[in-house]
Amino acid sequence: MTAVDAGALGVVLAASAAAALAVMLVAFAIGTAKGLHRIVDVAWGLAFAAVAVVAWSLSAGHGDDLRRTLVALATLVWGLRLATHIARRGRGHGEDPRYARMLARAPGNPTLYALRKVYLLQGALVWLVSLPVQFAVLLPEPLEATALLGLALWATGVAFEAVGDHQLARFKADPAHRGLIMDRGLWSWTRHPNYFGDFLVWWGLYLTACATWQTALLTVVSPLVMSGLLIWGSGKRLLEAHMAGRPGYAAYQARTSGFFPRPPRRTA
């Protein structure tokens, strides 16, 4: 098994960091001008897409063409789909309550605090989580069974979150459902089909970087960090804290898996 070219890797890592930073700084400028820092959630997906394009461009002549193209395209598709969905969902709404609470308690200048704790932090996380992509595009080995399994996991994850988002959007669009808890379709199998989809996406992309034990070891931090964010960080934990007081949510929690899908429990 051939090692990744160290010089090319350094260039890709540096350029990917610059790409993620550039997207977040543009988002910061727009969010500050509009007074809506929720735009960073759109920038999150766009930053991954930017990293994918930059890594693919700079890996030419170093990585296997099929692997680098499929991995970059998979990341681009996921990032653009997520950014588009969040932009549509937030259209016409005010500030996200999470950011409003955070900035209300900010020590010193709230704008500079938002830059550090929201935009720059998320830019750093984009770079860290996307390490498997940055390594995979430089792997000279042809696609192996592990990488193909990873791409299948990626496809399952994208489908899972896209279907879940669509089901939730249709549910909310019906005025008869106002005040009710979405507990149908994929949402009857897991309380967070979108987060579970992201979980599959990033473990799948990690597998595309596992052609050598060295790259597998160096990049495993990325899906572990993403899993932590989704389950214990800014994903499931914060959303459930926000939903806890809703009528019917406790019963929904009792019968529906918190993350990994399973058939709903029967309750008395």
Tell me the average pLDDT across 159-185.
92
In a domain, 265, yes or no: no
In a domain, 262, yes or no: no
In a domain, 267, yes or no: no
Comparing 151 with 107, the larger pLDDT belongs to 151
Instruction: Say what the pLDDT of residue 7 is.
Output: 93
In a domain, 206, yes or no: yes
Q: What is the pTM of this model?
A: 0.93
For residue 200, what are the domain limits? Answer: 6-255
Distances from the Cα of 104 to the Cα of 110, 115, 140, 148, angstroms: 8, 14, 50, 47
In a domain, 260, yes or no: no
SS3 250: helix
Which of 192-201, 204-213, 223-232, 241-250 shows the lowest per-residue confidence on average (mean pLDDT)?
241-250
SS3 114: helix
In a domain, 268, yes or no: no
Distances from the Cα of 190 to the Cα of 52, 137, 218, 260, angstroms: 30, 33, 31, 6
In a domain, 1, yes or no: no
In a domain, 263, yes or no: no
Q: Nearest 5 degrees, angle CA 12-CA 17-CA 19? A: 90
Residue 229's pLDDT band, with cuts at 50, 70 and 90, is very high
Instruction: Say what the pLDDT of residue 204 is.
Output: 98
Task: Tell me how many domains the chain contains.
Answer: 1
Which regions of 80-208 does DSSP assign to beta strands (E)?
none
Q: What is the pLDDT of residues 2-18, one digit of tens each?
A: 678 899 999 999 999 99
pLDDT at 74 over 60: yes
Tell me the average pLDDT across 202-222.
96
Instruction: Say what the pLDDT of residue 239 is.
Output: 81
Q: What is the pLDDT of residues 23-44, one digit of tens each?
A: 999 999 999 999 889 999 999 9
Q: What is the CA radius of gyration of the chain?
A: 19
Instruction: Say what the pLDDT of residue 237 is.
Output: 81
Cβ burial, residue 52 (10 Å; 0-12/13-18/19+): buried
